[in-house]
Amino acid sequence: MRRLYVVRLLVCLWLGGGLVPVWAQDRQARKALGNYDFSQHGLQAVRLRYPALTGAGLVVSVKEQPFDTADIDFRGRLVITPLAKSFSDHASTMATLLAGAGNTAPSSRGVARGVRLVSASYDRLAPDTLPELRRLGVSIQNHSYGVAIERFYGRDARAYDDQVAQQPTLLHVFSSGNSGAETPTGGPLPGPFMTLTGEFKQAKNTLVVGGISSRGVLEARSSRGPTIDGRIKPELVAYGDNGTSESAALVSGVAALLQQTYRDQQGQLPSSAWVKACLIAGCEDIGLPGPDHEAGFGNFDALGAVTVAANKQYQTGSVGSGATQSFTLVVPPNIARLTVALAWHDTPAATPTLRQNLDLLLDPPAGAAPIRPWVLSAALHPDSVRLPARRGTDRVNNVEQVSVQQPVPGVYRVRVVGMALPDGPQPYAVAYAIDSVLTWASPTAGAVLTTGEAQPIRWRWRGDKTVRGTLSAQTVGDTTWQPVAEDIALADQLVWWTTPNRSQRARVRLVTGVGTFVSDTFALVQSTSLRVLLNCPERAAVSWARQPGVTAWQLYKLGPLYLEPIRQITDTVAFLTPKDGLYVAVSPILAGKPTQPGFTINYQRQGVGCYVAGWLARQTVTDTVRLDLDLGTTWNLRPLVLERATGLSDFTPLQTITPTATQTTYTFTDQPPGSGATRYRVRLTTQTGETILTDEETVFNIQPSEQVVFPNPVELGQPVSVVIQAPEATGIWISPSGQRIRMAPLSGVIKQIPTTRLTIGVYLLQITDSSGKQHVTRVVVR
């Protein structure tokens, strides 16, 4: 029996021998993707350096449970299908990481904010039908789920291979699973190897993504290969805050950016083999040189992959058996690393064994011997799977990679050789990356860092791992550099910097023995929180705190797809009209340019009405009434008038208070004329003659010896409310025959008395307060 669970690191518990998913707690937790650091993998750098890359015009399917279609971060980009109306927080998180628009907050912006999204059900583990995927226009499908560990190439794996062979532009991205720490029994290898969660993840023509920590270290729970025939799975690894589910979602998003790049260049979608080649050429080798069965070809590098595609560092073609196709590339001086990747779709078969075999060769300048790809032992033996990669001829994988550290400058030739091709000429894709020794990942030009908080400073280092250096920072206008961290290992590629608590522009630099590297200029911005002052039918107002160094602000509304600028203002109060919509955000303007908006609010859902933020009696049972009025603002208000009800709809004025510009909380008092319930309200009048009335607040005025019971008569089964001044009491129902029905202890200002144990008739309700005083009331139950 195959049992499905969505893969999540750290949130799955062993209960009764079965793996049980523990879902995200609530929607707000999902929206707070601030825990996810988009400076990792160069994701923020891609966003800022290639702003036109959003995945626009593409459709990505999220195959699991439905995601939240009402989320404003998917606004206007949904392909609606007849799935269940309830949604999964896990699926919504995947969709947000992959394609969130950032309408809620900067932290809710995903990788490819321009793609259209569609839900697909994982109730059926086999591929969705190809006609349906084509009808919806899906070019990428994300699979962040798994079953138990399965160590075979089954019918689902073959079905995915067959579907991609029929639709070469379709990419399936799977999470490897979170079962790497398990110790499965049976089969040729003990754990952690061969722990992929589902036989469908052993397909040859798909992409599988494992998980690493935020510091780039392989997660122990990340499921790993090899496949049953010794192939490399996962192909690469990425960070996921809660497991490999999120790792796969990020890679799916970047895959959409790659597809858009190729489409914009070539006028058509690329094969998914081309996408894999770009990802593998751009990834960062971790651990020993070459791939391994734990992290595949290495750490996912979004900036590296997109740069490869944007610079057209690729070649596609088709080669026949015994034939060779080649092209040349030029490596300039002072390059740290050259990586070439070859990928192709293999012909589906009953077994996973490679049918269509290609070879990749790299010829260096000056007639040196060809450099062969990295290969791993395909033997399923505990010792063999731990052997480091070596250069050789690959007869197992339909993905190959050649990498060279500190390559000699000059012209290189890349050769693709058709070896055994029983099914005819084989289409292929080659991509290559030429890496400098250091590339800034965060911050880059246009980046925004939060002031007064620890912020990640990241770079991509491809040089000697023993090199150390000093990181310092400089704000615009200063002439000195302030040290941030000294004697750091550049191979760590990360330093946390607690930024100055002031909005301004700045840059950082690394000083090393091999050179000085200065970042682009970026912005330091204080977080901006909006407060609703006013929420009237035709006018609303929001405000925020002033910030040193900021003299202008950009106001935003929510448009059909994204936040859109409304106007720039110099005040910290903004007035809104219905045409501005319900959602509003604001961003500081530095050096004449807006930075990024803070959290977006729906101003009608912040608990503030038309001027009134709160209206409440301090005590609902008292002999002296005190009522508190909280206002969002006193702008444009005349004196405030407390009114007391003298009938069902008649009120008389009691007290007038003139509001001030600096005070928003006011207290009214009254001495009610008699016992019982008294209703109060406040009348607010604006300078332009508009009248606003608060809701009515009811206060019970009783003497220590009194008791108020309502409703009376009461319908059988409905509770009776009793008001006495004592907070604690006991109660007894006394029937006409003298039967006494005791109740549980009573507490609270207004005590609820059940009638469920009574019958229709007349009863005495006896309440004894904490001082021993008894209050008796005749109650009619009907």
Residues 564 and 666 in one domain: no
pLDDT for 225-257, tens place per residue? Answer: 999 999 999 999 999 888 999 999 999 999 999
The HSE-up count of residue 314 (CA atoms within 13 Å, CB side) is 35
Integer angstrom CA distances of residue 308 from 451, 583, 773 = 34, 39, 86
Q: 476 in a domain, yes or no?
A: yes
Contacts of 641 by beta carbon, 8 Å cutoff, 6+ apart: 653, 654, 655, 656, 682, 683, 685
Q: Tokens in use for 32?
A: 């707070």
Which pLDDT score, from 0 to 100, does residue 747 have? 84
Residues 676 and 650 in one domain: yes
User: Which CATH number goes with the domain that contains 559?
Assistant: 2.60.40.10
Residues 42 and 149 in one domain: yes
Does residue 411 have a pLDDT over 50? yes
Reduced to 3 states (helix: H, G, I; strand: E, B; else coil), residue 58 is coil
Output 248 or 84, whichever has higher pLDDT.
248
Give the residue among 712, 639, 653 at the shortest CA–CA distance from 677.
Answer: 712
Q: Which of 480, 504, 524 is the last residue of a domain?
A: 524
Q: 221 in a domain, yes or no?
A: yes
Q: 406 in a domain, yes or no?
A: no
User: What residue has token string 């050769």?
Assistant: 415
Which pLDDT score, from 0 to 100, does residue 110 have? 96
Give the residue among 379, 421, 375 at the shortest CA–CA distance from 400.
Answer: 375
Distance CA 630, CA 606 (A): 14
Share of the chain above pLDDT 70, in %: 95
User: Which CATH number goes with the domain that contains 105?
Assistant: 3.40.50.200
For every residue of 381-421, DSSP letters joined together read STTGGGSPPEE---SS-SEEEEEEESPPSEEEEEEEEE---
The answer to whether 631 and 667 are in contact (CB under 8 A) is no
Distance CA 440, CA 495 (A): 12
- DSSP state, residue 375: E
Residues 178 and 191 in one domain: yes
Contacts of 66 by beta carbon, 8 Å cutoff, 6+ apart: 83, 84, 85, 86, 87, 88, 91, 119, 121
Q: What is the 3-state secondary structure (H, E, C) of 495-515?
A: EEEECCCCCEEEEEEEEECCE
Residues 534 and 601 in one domain: yes
- Output phi, psi for 161, to 5 deg: -60, -40
Q: Which of 605, 633, 652 is the last residue of a domain?
A: 605
Which pLDDT score, from 0 to 100, does residue 116 have? 98
Distance CA 213, CA 315 (A): 33
Does residue 17 have a pLDDT over 80? no
Residues 179 and 296 in one domain: yes
Which pLDDT score, from 0 to 100, does residue 549 have? 86
Reduced to 3 states (helix: H, G, I; strand: E, B; else coil), residue 718 is coil
Residues 188 and 166 in one domain: yes
Does residue 621 have a pLDDT over 90? no
Distance CA 53, CA 51 (A): 5
Which pLDDT score, from 0 to 100, does residue 2 have? 55
Number of domains the chain contains? 5
Reported as a pLDDT band with limits 50, 70 and 90, residue 744 is confident
Q: Which of 473, 505, 524 is the last residue of a domain?
A: 524
Which pLDDT score, from 0 to 100, does residue 33 have? 54
Which pLDDT score, from 0 to 100, does residue 413 have? 97
Distance CA 290, CA 208 (A): 18
Reported as a pLDDT band with limits 50, 70 and 90, residue 31 is very low
Reported as a pLDDT band with limits 50, 70 and 90, residue 334 is very high
Reported as a pLDDT band with limits 50, 70 and 90, residue 22 is very low
Domain that holds residue 589: 528-605
Does residue 753 have a pLDDT over 60? yes
Compute CA 247 distance to the chain's CA centroid, rounded to the nearest angstrom.
Answer: 12
Q: Which of 152-156, 460-464, 675-679 is predicted least confidently?
A: 675-679
Does residue 19 have a pLDDT over 50? no
Q: 380 in a domain, yes or no?
A: no
Residues 159 and 297 in one domain: yes
Compute CA 657 distance to the chain's CA centroid, rounded to the nearest angstrom.
Answer: 48
Reported as a pLDDT band with limits 50, 70 and 90, residue 702 is confident
Does residue 532 have a pLDDT over 50? yes
Question: Mean pLDDT over residues 677-685, rounded?
Answer: 94
Residues 501 and 592 in one domain: no
Give the residue among 392, 387, 364, 363 at the shortest CA–CA distance from 377.
Answer: 387
Q: 413 in a domain, yes or no?
A: no
Output 86 or 41, whichever has higher pLDDT.
41
pLDDT for 347-388, tens place per residue? Answer: 999 899 999 999 999 999 988 899 999 999 989 999 999 999
Q: 141 in a domain, yes or no?
A: yes
Which pLDDT score, from 0 to 100, does residue 726 have? 79
Residues 485 and 590 in one domain: no
Q: Tokens in use for 236?
A: 């690469």
Q: 345 in a domain, yes or no?
A: no
Residues 208 and 69 in one domain: yes
For the chain, the average pLDDT equals 91
Q: 539 in a domain, yes or no?
A: yes
Q: Tokens in use for 144?
A: 């962040």
Does residue 539 have a pLDDT over 80? yes
Reported as a pLDDT band with limits 50, 70 and 90, residue 4 is low
Reported as a pLDDT band with limits 50, 70 and 90, residue 35 is low
Residues 617 and 599 in one domain: no
